[in-house]
């Protein structure tokens, strides 16, 4: 196992801070040919204590959790718990936390699901705007709090280019809302993900066996058919992104070429 101490840079090379600026074109040219573990090592050497990763404990989350913790064992794992997750998701998270000895950091909304529904009803059923309002309250705002509380300057995320139109526009390193994001497995195929799980005897989320390829909240997940993209099972087909992985300013949205998903 490669530990964090083996990749810590010399004192002459200070860590990148949230306010610092990387040349993204040069950095991506450097990282594009590197493999996933090397991208993680690069992020650890540049961001050190500002580095964290997110996990939804979804269908194939064991891949990133295993890959990253082999390089940075104690990295904070941010899990946004909406309170609307499947029982199997909570069980899966406990299983992986115990097996991989995860440094799990759980963040929730500032309102309980019962309180939210009493005031706003099931907003996600009303319209696409209702979904957006729900996602902002239960996912985006808790993630912003996690970034502030943990001092995150770089966020490792397991996005893959083949998952959505928006993700196909991404590069190994991006900057979103002032925080760098590194995508170690961006160019991996579904087969590579499956091969990694098999090679390391890692489990899929238990609901995969029941036909759910992309798993989120109980009210935003449905089974997919062979003719559907994995992410088509999310949010009753209206959107494929949960909001965490899209820029939030008009300028960033335009510069990223976001599909609006």
Catalytic positions are: 242
Treating both helix axes as pointing N-terminal to C-terminal, what angle do 190-199 and 61-71 enclose, rounded to 10 degrees?
Answer: 60
CA 21 – CA 60 distance, rounded (Å)? 32
Strand 179-182, strand 173-176: pairing: antiparallel
Nearest to 90 by CA among 207, 194, 198: 207
Strand 76-80, strand 103-107: pairing: parallel
* Long-range contacts of 244-247, Cβ-Cβ distance < 8 Å, separation of 24 or more: 244/54, 244/80, 244/139, 244/140, 244/143, 245/157, 245/159, 245/166, 245/167, 245/176, 246/166, 247/176, 247/177
């Amino acid at each position: 196992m490669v530990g964090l101490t083996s990749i810590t840079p010399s004192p002459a090379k200070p860590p990148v801070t949230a306010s610092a600026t990387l040349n993204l074109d040069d950095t991506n040219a450097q990282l594009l040919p590197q493999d996933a573990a090397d991208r993680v090592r690069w992020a650890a050497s540049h961001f050190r204590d500002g580095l964290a990763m997110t996990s939804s404990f979804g269908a194939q989350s064991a891949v990133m959790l295993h890959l990253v913790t082999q390089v940075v064992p104690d990295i904070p794992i941010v899990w946004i718990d909406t309170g609307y997750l499947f029982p199997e998701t909570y069980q899966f998270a406990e299983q992986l936390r115990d097996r991989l000895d995860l440094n799990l950091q759980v963040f929730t909304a500032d309102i309980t699901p019962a309180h939210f529904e009493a005031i706003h009803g099931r907003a996600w059923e009303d319209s696409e705007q209702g979904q957006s309002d729900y996602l902002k309250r239960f996912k985006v705002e808790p993630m912003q709090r996690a970034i502030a509380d943990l001092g995150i300057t770089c966020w490792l995320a397991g996005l893959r280019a083949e998952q959505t139109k928006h993700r196909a526009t991404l590069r190994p390193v991006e900057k979103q809302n002032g925080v760098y994001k590194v995508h170690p497995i961006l160019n991996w195929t579904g087969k590579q993900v499956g091969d990694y799980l098999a090679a390391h005897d890692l489990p899929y989320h238990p609901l995969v066996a029941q036909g759910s390829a992309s798993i989120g909240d109980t009210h935003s997940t449905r089974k997919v058919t062979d003719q559907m993209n994995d992410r088509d099972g999310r949010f009753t087909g209206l959107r494929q992104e949960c909001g965490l992985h899209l820029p939030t300013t008009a300028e960033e949205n335009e510069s990223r070429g976001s599909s609006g998903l």
